[in-house]
Amino acid sequence: MAEAEHCDVCIVGTGAGGGILAHRLAMAGLNVVSLEQGGLLAPDHFRTEAPPGTARDFGIGPRTVWPSDPHDSLFIHPLFADRTEGSTDRPKGGFQHFQVLNVDGLQTLWNGVSVRFSRADFADWPIGYDALADHYAAVEQRITVCGTQENIPELPDGQFVTPKPLRPPDELVVRAVKSLGEAYSHAIPNRKAINTRIGTEGACVSTGVCTSGCPVGAVYKFSARLLPELRLRPNYELRTHAKVVRLVREDGSRSISAVEYVDTRTSERRSLKAKLVVLATGAVETPRILFNSADAASPTGLSNDNGRVGLALQDNPKAVLSTSLWKLWGRRRSYDIGYGDLLILMSRGKLPDGSSFPFIGHGIHGIPDVPHYLTGMRGFPPALKVRMARMMFYSYVTLGLFCAGEVVPGNRVRPGRTEDRYGVRHVDVDFAVTDTGRQRMDAMLAWGRKVLRRASSTLVHASVDNSGTGIHYAGTTPMSADPAGGTVDINLRSHEIENLYICDGGVIPFLPDKHLTLTIMALSDRLGDHLIAKAQQSGTRA
C-alpha cells in the first residue's frame, strides 16, 4: 500500500455530477482530488478528416452486426466497457448497463440533451423545483445550452443560446404534430449542451450526430470546458487510472477515513485520506462501491444498514421508430445538418384503463454512415439499389420517445459473485419489465406511427426496450427526508455516514420521462453551495 495522502474533498468520478462539483469546490479554494478509473482521451480522439456520411467502410467496424438494426447502432462503440473492466456484464436478454471508463464518463458520448424537470416531476421528492431553479440556470450558462423559450409548464424554460435552424425533415415532423390538434403535443427545438455560437472556440461543426463523440468539444464535457480552468491550480488534482475499490472507516466510526483504489496501470493498491468523500459514479457503480465497502459494523455494505442501497433501479422505457419520408425523396441537401436530434417531442399516451401518462423524446435526422435501409433492398437489381439509395439518402428520420421509469423494488443492483480483472467484485442487476411499462411503450409507438404517417412515412422500423438502453439509470441511492426510506438526505449526505455524499443518478428517487443529466448537474451545483458553506464555517482553506 502506498503512503496515504490527504485532501479536503475526494470526488470519485468526473461525469455529470463529479465534473461540475470539482470545478465549484476547487474554484472556491478547497483542496480537491478527483479520482477517475480511466485515462484522459487525447483532444483529437474523435477528429476525422472525412465528412459525415462518406466513410468508405460505411462505418462498419469489427463489432458491427450485419445486417444491423438501426436502433442498435448507438450501443456499439469501442469506449463502452465490458465485464473485464466494468461493474457488470451485459447479458443477452438481460439488463444492459453501459459505462465509459475515462475522464468525462458517459458524457464522452453524450448527445447533450439538457432539459429541466418540471414542478410536477418533483411531487414525490423531499425537495421541490424551487430548490433547483437557480442551479439549473447556473449550470445552463456554464455548459452553454441552446434552445428556445416556449412557455410549456411541463418543460420549464431556461437560459439558452440560439439553436441550429430546423431542417426540412424537422419541419415535416413539426407540421405533423401540429396537425394532431392536441394541446398537450409539442414539437420544439431541442435543448442541448452544445456551443452553437458560430465563430467562437469549440463551436459546433455539424457532424449530424453527437453520440459517437464530438470532434471539437462543442458538446459539454468536463475535460473540454472546466478542466482547463483547474489544471494550473495548486489545490486541484485529477488522478486518472484510479479505480476505487472500497471506502474504509475506523471501527465504530460514522466517518470514512480513507478511499482505497487500485492503479489500473500497475495494479498497485493505494489509499487517499479526505475530510469529505463524494461518490459520483452512477446509479450502478456507486452501489457497487458501497457493497464492496462492507465491514464488521455494516456487513451488507456501507451506508446500507437500512437495506435500501441498490433497490428500485429505474431507467426510461423507450419506443423508437425510423422511416424514410417520401416527400423528401430525391432531395439534395442545401441545409445545415446540425447535431442530429434538433427536435424535442412531447405528448401524452393513453392506456387501456383510460388513464394517460406523459412522454418526451427527440426527432432525429442525420447523415448515415451505415446505410441500414439497404438491407431491405435484397430483392432489387444492383443498379436500382444504388439509385434508390441515392434518392432516399436525406429522407430518413427517427423518433425516440421516453416515458417515466417505474419504482419496482425487485428491479435492483445487488452484490455479484464474479470479479473484474482487478479483483474488484462485480454487481448483478435484476430487472423486469412490468405490464404497465409494456403498455406505455406500445402507446408511444402508436403516437409515433400517427405522427410519421402525417409526415409522409414509408416503411416504419419500430422497436421498444426497457432493458437499460435508455442509459438514464436512477433510484438506487435515493434522496429521502426519512432515513429509513432512502440513502441520502436533501443535501445528498449519507443518512448513516457523516462525511459521505452521493451525487449521481442514484439519488433521484423518481425518474420522470425527461433526461436526467441536467438535473444531476443542478444537484451537483447545489451540493457545491452546501459544501462551500460548510468549509467556510469550519475555516477550511486550500
Confidence of residue 89 (pLDDT cuts 50, 70, 90): confident
**Other C-beta atoms lying within 10 Å of the C-beta of residue 533:** 11
Query: 1-5, 77-81, 202-206: which has the minimum mean pLDDT?
Result: 1-5
d(CA 252, CA 407): 33
* CA angle, residues 158, 162, 163, in degrees to nearest 5: 95
d(CA 331, CA 349): 33
Confidence of residue 541 (pLDDT cuts 50, 70, 90): very low
Q: Average per-residue pLDDT in the chain? A: 91
Of the two residues 284 and 76, the one the predictor is more confident about is 284
Cell of 238: 485529477
Instruction: Give mean pLDDT, residues 204-212.
Output: 87
Query: 35-49, 216-230, 318-332: which has the minimum mean pLDDT?
Result: 35-49
pLDDT at 218 over 60: yes
Length in residues, the chain: 542
Cell of 460: 416504419
d(CA 236, CA 229): 10
**Other C-beta atoms lying within 10 Å of the C-beta of residue 275:** 18
d(CA 208, CA 198): 16
Predicted confidence at residue 212, as pLDDT, reads 83
If you count DSSP H runs as helices and E runs as strands, how many of each does the chain have, helices first? 9, 17
Cell of 89: 456484464
Predicted confidence at residue 29, as pLDDT, reads 96
pLDDT at 366 over 90: no
Predicted confidence at residue 284, as pLDDT, reads 98
In sequence order, what DSSP letters do the residues of 103-158 get, joined into one string?
TTGGGGG---B--PPPTGGGTTSSS-THHHHHHHHHHHHHHTEE-----BTTB---
Spatial contact of 358 and 443, defined as CB atoms under 8 Å apart: no
Predicted confidence at residue 92, as pLDDT, reads 81
pLDDT, tens digit (0-9, with 9 covering 90-100), for 30-55: 999 999 999 999 988 988 655 555 55
Of the two residues 2 and 126, the one the predictor is more confident about is 126
pLDDT at 398 over 60: yes
pLDDT at 61 over 90: no
d(CA 364, CA 112): 13
Read off the pTM.
0.94
Instruction: Give mean pLDDT, residues 427-438.
Output: 96
Instruction: Give mean pLDDT, residues 150-169.
Output: 97
Of the chain, the percentage scoring pLDDT greater than 90 comes to: 79
pLDDT at 88 over 60: yes
Predicted confidence at residue 2, as pLDDT, reads 40
d(CA 533, CA 539): 10
d(CA 28, CA 20): 13
Contacts of 454 (CB under 8 A, 6+ apart): 175, 176, 179, 180
pLDDT, tens digit (0-9, with 9 covering 90-100), for 95-117: 999 999 999 999 999 999 999 99
d(CA 439, CA 443): 6
CA-to-CA separations, 173 to 315, 328, 398, 464, in angstroms, rounded: 26, 12, 10, 20
d(CA 83, CA 70): 25
pLDDT at 495 over 70: yes
Query: 119-133, 181-195, 331-345, 346-360: which has the minimum mean pLDDT?
Result: 331-345
d(CA 180, CA 267): 59
In sequence order, what DSSP letters do the residues of 397-437 get, joined into one string?
EEEEEEE-----TTSEEEEEEEE-TTSPEEEEEE----HHH
pLDDT at 424 over 70: yes
Of the two residues 442 and 65, the one the predictor is more confident about is 442
- Taken in order of first residue, the domains within the chain and their CATH numbers are 1-42+79-110+221-307+473-542 (3.50.50.60)
CA-to-CA separations, 493 to 133, 289, 337, 410, 488, in angstroms, rounded: 20, 16, 44, 25, 5
